[in-house]
Structure 1
Amino acid sequence: MKQSSDYLSDVLVICRAERAVTASFFLRAPWALASEGVPGTMIRIAQGQPYWLQVRGQAPVRVMPGDLVVLPLGSPHVMASDLALTPVPFARMIERFAQGPKDENPLTFEHGGAGARTRIDSVLLWISAHCRHTILNLLPPLLHIPAAQAAPPAMLGSTLQALIEDSLARRAGWRLAAVRLGELAMVHVLSNHFAAQQERRQGWVRGLADAQIAKAMAAIHGRPSHDWTLQTLAREAAMSRSRFAEKFKALVGDSPMAYLQQQRMAHAAQQLESGLPLAQIAEDCGYESERVFARAFKRWCGLPPRAYQRSAQALRKEFAALK
């Protein structure tokens, strides 16, 4: 039988990066920069002097050299050598220094005074909708991974720095490498975060610590459009229907069918972003008509499918047009 860590991999397989943009900032104290948020998942690593990072509404964090910071949903934030400084908007720096689309010309700039030097390398990832709606929105707005806690210890930092160096040098294949290496770093961060939650028996990942429930969860994630019933999911877990429903709810926090519905709607969101016809999406999700599906989708995310599709397309354009 699989170990629970294998089931975590089965769940995280939906976390795919579709595009990536990279940047490298060379900063000398005193300096401060403010971002109003970005349409993607931001991963950063720094060298040189420590700096402060404060996500809006959160306590500031001291970031040391080699630490990884991840903004799963690109939350507004400030980075600074001293948080008492008035920050310069990132948008102003981008407007001043960008040379064409960042997926063709990674953003680099120097900023600040004449003091101690900090270099910050970053990759911004456009993550699949299925992952954003079911995994990333479960995370805190900031994940801070001290260098000593990264696992494997040197792998994540070296992966990100290889990604940045390839993009700055415009080595052949760097665009694809940026997507794949960024995705690899993200999956390792997520694996470490959820594995720690699993050990502490926190959140929905408690279900992955139980081989029977984990098998049903992996089946749902792997085939969200399948015609699952409580009986067939119980069969996947090799349990009676009543015992399966009781145990799933106790560990995961949702009933099996509610969890299935969440995965189906997230999968539908991904299909909407891919431009598939609404009738096909409704059928894949097991709905008898577009109208019934549209009502269910609006209950889930607050927007009708077409409005969601337009909003997602606008965010994609914003991501693609970062300059």
Structure 2
Amino acid sequence: MATDLLSAALADLRADAVVTGHFSLAGAWAFRKPAIEGVMFRTGRGAPFYVIVQGMEPLCVEPGDFVLLPHGHEHILASAPDVPAVPFDDLAARAGIRPSFDTPLRLESGRGGAVCDLYTGIVFYREAVRNPLFSVLPPLIHVRANDPAVGPWLADTLMAFIRESMACQPGWAVAAARLADVLFVQLLRAHLASAVSHTGWLRGLMDPQIGRAIAQLHRHPEQDWTVESLAAIAGMSRSRFSARFVELVEETPIGHLTSYRMYIASGALRDSRRRLIEIAMSVGYASEKAFIRAFRRWAGMAPKQYARSVRDPYDMALAAGARESEGASHTL
């Protein structure tokens, strides 16, 4: 049951744009990467490296390990935790490189000592902020190369993703985006298989009783669910079910139902051929007025305004990169 529901959540993810880089770094090095509205991948060959996210202990990444920053947090990449970090722009300037968002980046820096071949990537997902899966992912996911949940195909997929993006052959953007989807799914599967604990609705999903209710709620969000009907599926009293749901999921059952309905509706609004009442009914609202009111509370704007705000995926990613690129900043 849990696997099926996770598959449904992952099936909605589609990369809009990707960009990658390959850094050959020798000796002592450290640079700071700014936050960005995208998912960051990190892996390396040769010497190990460290990832340092504020508020977390420095993480040593061994050759072949994978690091995923689902929320694009600011972080430091370094050969050792005690090496003073410089802004990434400074490192690029020393190498005579002016980064460009839509061009894969190759950079060599330093001399002497062990060499780390660092492979980086950013993947932009339009609806990551509102995707119910993203909302429960931690700031950093570390998948070790020797983890039993990791198969040889994971490394192959990552390197294919890097090579496809770096080569920039005709059609590379689409090919790299599809490979990024596969890579992201595989990394999440490995993480979920090995994680000791989960948060939010993933934690609720792992509970035998609450998980049954969440599964039905997600499979049929258009139904007229009540706390009583969901509690019956869980085989619990109304009060005990509500308390347990809030304890695990950290929101009420109806609050979670509304959030999930609005997420589905936000995806449907991309299709200009669908009528608003059709979308409203598909997520359990009998009138446009009630749906518009709920959607406005969730998104901060009316459905039609939201639909108009959805731009071309590449332009959206390019604009995000431009915001981070003021002053020649790059986000890899």
The alignment's TM-score, normalised by the length of structure 2, stands at: 0.75
Q: CA deviation at 1:19?
A: 1.7
> How far did 1:173 drift?
3.6
Please tell me whether residue 265 in structure 1 is matched to residue 259 in structure 2.
no
SS at match of 2:154: helix
Superposed CA deviations along residues 185-232 of structure 1, whole A, max 9, x for unmatched, are 2112222333445x75765324434677546534544565x2542389
Q: C-alpha distance in 1, partners of 2:106/2:146?
A: 28
Contact 1:20 1:124 in 2 (8 A): yes
Residue number in structure 2 paired with 1:74: 72
Residue equivalent to 1:146: 144
Other-structure match for 1:52: 50
Q: CA deviation at 1:159?
A: 1.0
Distance 1:157 1:236, change over 3 A: farther
Alignment partners' CA distance in 1, 2:297 and 2:316: 23
Whole-angstrom distance in 1 between the partners of 2:18 and 2:251: 34
The reply on whether 1:38 has 2:61 as its aligned counterpart is no
- Distance, in Å, in 2 between the alignment partners of 1:130 and 1:227 is 25
- CA drift of 1:162 comes to 1.6
Distance between the aligned counterparts of 1:7 and 1:290, measured in 2? 25
TM-score, length basis structure 1: 0.77
In the alignment, the residues of structure 1 paired with residue 98 and residue 235 of structure 2 have an alpha-carbon distance, to the nearest angstrom, of 57
1:229 matched to 2:225? The reply is: yes
1:115 aligns with 2:116: no
Q: Distance in 2 between matches of 1:195 and 1:90?
A: 34
Comparing 73-82 and 173-182, the one that deviates more: 173-182
* Pairwise CA distance, 1:304: 4.4
How far did 1:92 drift?
Answer: 4.1
Secondary structure of the structure 2 residue equivalent to 1:155 = helix
Deviation at 1:266, TM superposition (A): 3.2
Map 1:1-323 → 2, pairs under 5 A: 3-93=1-91, 97-98=97-98, 100-102=100-102, 105-129=103-127, 132-149=130-147, 151-197=149-195, 203-209=200-206, 214=211, 216-221=213-218, 224=221, 226-230=222-226, 234=230, 237=233, 242=238, 252-268=249-265, 270=267, 274=270, 280=276, 283=280, 286=285, 288=289, 292-293=293-294, 296-297=297-298, 303-304=300-301, 316-319=317-320, 321=322
Q: Specify whether residues 256 and 275 from structure 1 end up closer, same or farther in structure 2 by C-alpha distance, changes over 3 A only.
A: same
Say how many residue pairs are matched.
Answer: 312
* One-letter amino acid of the counterpart of residue 297, structure 2: A
Q: Name the SS for the 1:45 alignment partner.
A: strand
Distance 2:38 2:18 in 1: 9
Query: Which stretch has the larger CA shift, 44-53 or 167-176?
Result: 167-176
CA distance in 1, matches of 2:130, 2:42: 19
Unaligned runs of 5+ in 2: none
Cα RMSD (Å) of the superposition?
A: 3.9
How far 1:122 sits from its partner (Å)?
A: 1.8
- What is the identity percentage for the equivalent residue pairs of Structure 1 and Structure 2? 30
Counterpart contact for 2:92–2:99, Cα < 8 Å:
no
The DSSP-based 3-state class of the residue aligned with 2:214 is: helix
